[in-house]
Amino acid sequence: MGIGKALFPFLGKIQLWLCICLRNLDHNNPPLRRIQTSSEVMQRMQDALRGDMMREFLAEFMGTYVMMIFGLGSVAQKVLGGDAFGTYLTINLGFGFGTTMGIHVAGGISGAHMNSAITFTSCVLGQMPWKKFPVYTMGQCFGSFLAAATIYGLYYQALIRYTDGNLTVTGPLATAGIFATYPASHMTLWRGFLDQVSSE
C-alpha cells in the first residue's frame, strides 16, 4: 500500500509523458512544443535586439554601467586607500572619464542620458516621448546597481579590512558613501531638497 502511494505521482508523470509522445507521433496533430535549434534562438534574439526600445535600454544600461564603474571605483580607491592611492581630484577625474566613456558607449543609440533627471527633462520638453521614460530609467537603474555590485565585489576584502567587518553608513569608518550620497548630520529636509533640485 505504501509503495503504491509512493509510485502514484511517478506513474502519473510517465502517463503524461507517454500521452505527449503519442500526440507528437500523430501527424494530424501538430507537436505540443518543438525544440528550437541554436540558429533559431539566435535569430529570435537578433530580431528582439533590432527593436529601438531594447537597443536604447541596453545602451542606457551599458553607458550608465561604464560611467559608474569608473566613478565608484575612484571613490573606493580614495576612501579605502586614504590619501596613499588617490585624492578628491582622482574622484573628479574618474567620474569625468567615466562619463566620457559612457557617452562613447551609448551616445549614438540612446543619446547617453545616464541620469533619470536628464531623461525626465527631455520628456517634459517634448524631445522624447513619455513611453521611453520607464525604459531609459530601468536601464540606468540596472546599470548603476550592477556597477555598485561589481565595485563591492572587487573591493570586498579592502572594505572588510578597512572597517574590520563592521560596514556602516555614518561614522569615521563609514563606507556607504562609496556607493551613494548621504546627507550630513546638520542637513535639514528642506535644505536637502533644495540641494538635490538645484544640483540636478
Q: Domain check: are 118 and 177 in the same one?
A: yes
- Name which residue leads in pLDDT, 163 or 103: 103
Q: Domain check: are 30 and 63 in the same one?
A: no
Q: Domain check: are 40 and 93 in the same one?
A: no
Identify the CATH number of the domain in which residue 79 sits: 1.20.1080.10
Q: Domain check: are 29 and 114 in the same one?
A: no
Split into its structural domains, the chain has a count of 2
Helix (H, G, I), strand (E, B) or coil at 84: helix
Q: Domain range holding 32?
A: 13-50
Q: What tens digit of pLDDT does each residue of 41-59 get?
A: 777 767 766 768 889 999 9
Q: How confident is the model at residue 4 (pLDDT cuts 50, 70, 90)?
A: very low
Q: What tens digit of pLDDT does each residue of 9-35 get?
A: 544 555 555 455 444 444 455 544 555
In a domain, 189, yes or no: no
Q: Domain check: are 31 and 67 in the same one?
A: no
Region 103-115: mean pLDDT is: 93
> Nearest to residue 156, comparing CAs of 138, 178, 183?
178
Phi, psi of 137 (to 5 degrees): -65, -40
Q: Domain check: are 117 and 135 in the same one?
A: yes
> Nearest to residue 74, comparing CAs of 162, 181, 179?
179
Region 172-177: mean pLDDT is: 85
In a domain, 65, yes or no: yes
Q: Domain check: are 45 and 104 in the same one?
A: no
Cell of 180: 551613494
In a domain, 147, yes or no: yes
Helix H or strand E encompassing 92: helix 88-110
In a domain, 133, yes or no: yes
For the beta carbon of residue 65, count every other beta carbon within 10 angstroms.
Answer: 25
Provide the percentage of residues in the chain whose pLDDT is more than 90. Answer: 47
> Nearest to residue 61, comparing CAs of 149, 151, 135, 148?
135
